């Protein structure tokens, strides 16, 4: 079972415009959707769709937290959220003709008590695998994530942003930075795939058994105890990139959960991600035939 913790969930509001944004003008649209989001929650949604057993936890505050919880009630996996006093955030994605705009709020304050409640909930479940995904809201620090990771004998995966990866001091099974986060975590160049592998190797040394970096058009790399693997990107029509990293991670974790090796896990992640970028927002796309897509991903050793 893979338990995800999203310290800072979000209601994701995605609007599609058929003209560029312009200051001082009203743009009207029919294309809008709301999804339950936040990186850990997204990972759980994709894991569930892939047939892996998962549950989701984190902090939720009303009123937006209530809408998010209602959305998740339909999802088919268990949830165990801790209530906080301020509202869960509303994050916006604007898909305009001139590009993708993303506006993320900092999120509600989380008290010491809520943090202790979260620790109890995770400990009660004692999952073999724990994923902490997304930014940390006010009141939550790198020390708190280290404490959560060390509170049981679960293997912990983190996807918490580049600077935070550098701040974490515990031992982690896996982390999933993107190219910019890899650069921020290591202070190294990430201009090409070889740079990214070198940076991922350096990041491993700081307490991560495996590093998986999503590199957009350059695909993805996985660096771990069995060496470095590079997966080429698939040629797909991108609607938006929101959820791309979460679905890569979910694909990798689902594959490991099923006993896959590193190369197959990486290929699965790239395959799932290629389906998600073809869908607006963080909604779960049709994952039928994903094994065939995975088999078409070219993975090579470096």
Q: How far is the CB of 91 from ligand F1X (least distance, A)?
A: 4
Distance of closest approach, residue 168 Cβ to ligand F1X, in angstroms: 15
Sheet bearing 208-214, strands edge to edge: 78-83, 54-60, 2-6, 129-133, 155-159, 172-175, 208-214, 220-224, 227-231, 299-301
CB of 104 to ligand F1X, least distance (A): 4
Active site residue 261: no
Residue nearest to ligand F1X (CB): 37
CA distance 243 to 38: 9
The secondary structure of residue 284, as a DSSP letter, is: P
Tell me whether residue 222 or residue 242 sits nearer to ligand F1X (CB atom).
242
Nearer to ligand F1X, 37 or 61 (CB): 37
Phi, psi dihedrals of residue 45, rounded to the nearest 5°: -65, -45
To ligand F1X, the closest distance from the beta carbon of 107 in angstroms equals 8
Using the minimum distance from each CB to ligand F1X, give the nearer residue, 47 or 228. 47
CA dist 116 → 47, 134, 253, 299 (Å): 26, 19, 27, 42
Closest to ligand F1X by CB, 11 or 211: 11
Marked catalytic residue, from 246, 261, 286, 288: 246
Asked if 107 contacts 89 with a C-beta cutoff of 8 angstroms, the reply is yes
DSSP 54-116: EEEEEEE-TTHHHHHHHHHHTSSSEEEEEE-SSPPEEEEEEEETTEEEEE--------HHHHH
| CA–CA separation, 117 and 58 (whole Å) | 10
Which CB sits closer to ligand F1X, 8 or 87?
8
Give the interface with ligand F1X as residue ranges (CB under 6 A): 8, 10, 12, 37-39, 42, 91, 104, 134-135, 242-243, 245-246, 282
Residue 132 near residue 158, CB atoms below 8 Å: yes
Residue with token string 């404490």: 147
Name the minimum Å distance from CB 302 to ligand F1X.
Answer: 27
Closest by Cα among 300, 244, 191 to 42:
244
Catalytic residues, which ones? Answer: 246
């Amino acid at each position: 079972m893979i338990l995800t913790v999203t310290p800072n969930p979000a209601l994701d509001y995605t609007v599609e415009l058929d003209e560029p944004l312009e200051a001082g003008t009203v743009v009207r649209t029919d294309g809008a959707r709301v999804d339950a989001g936040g990186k850990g929650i997204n990972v759980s949604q994709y894991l569930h769709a892939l047939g892996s057993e998962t549950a989701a936890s984190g902090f939720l505050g009303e009123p937006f937290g209530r809408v998010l919880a209602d959305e998740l009630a339909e999802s088919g996996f268990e949830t165990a959220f801790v209530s906080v006093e301020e509202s869960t955030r509303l994050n916006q994605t604007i898909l305009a003709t001139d590009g993708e705009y993303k506006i993320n709020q900092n999120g509600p304050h989380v008290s010491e008590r809520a943090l202790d409640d979260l620790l109890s909930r995770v400990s009660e479940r004692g999952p073999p695998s724990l994923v902490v995904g997304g930014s940390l809201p006010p009141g939550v620090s790198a020390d708190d994530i280290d404490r959560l990771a060390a509170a049981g004998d679960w293997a912990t995966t983190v996807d918490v942003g580049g600077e935070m990866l550098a701040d974490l001091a515990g031992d982690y099974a896996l982390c999933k930075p993107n190219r910019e986060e890899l650069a921020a975590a290591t202070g190294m160049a990430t201009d090409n795939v070889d740079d990214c592998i070198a940076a991922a190797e350096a990041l491993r040394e700081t307490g991560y058994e495996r590093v998986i970096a999503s590199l957009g058009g350059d695909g993805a790399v996985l660096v771990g105890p069995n060496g470095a693997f590079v997966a080429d990107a698939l040629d797909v029509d991108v609607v938006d990139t929101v959820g791309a990293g979460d679905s890569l991670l979910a694909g990798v974790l689902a594959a490991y959960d099923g006993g896959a090796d590193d190369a197959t896990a990486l290929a699965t992640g790239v395959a799932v991600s290629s389906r998600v970028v073809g869908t607006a927002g963080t909604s779960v796309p049709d994952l039928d035939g994903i094994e065939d897509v995975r088999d078409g991903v070219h993975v090579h050793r470096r």
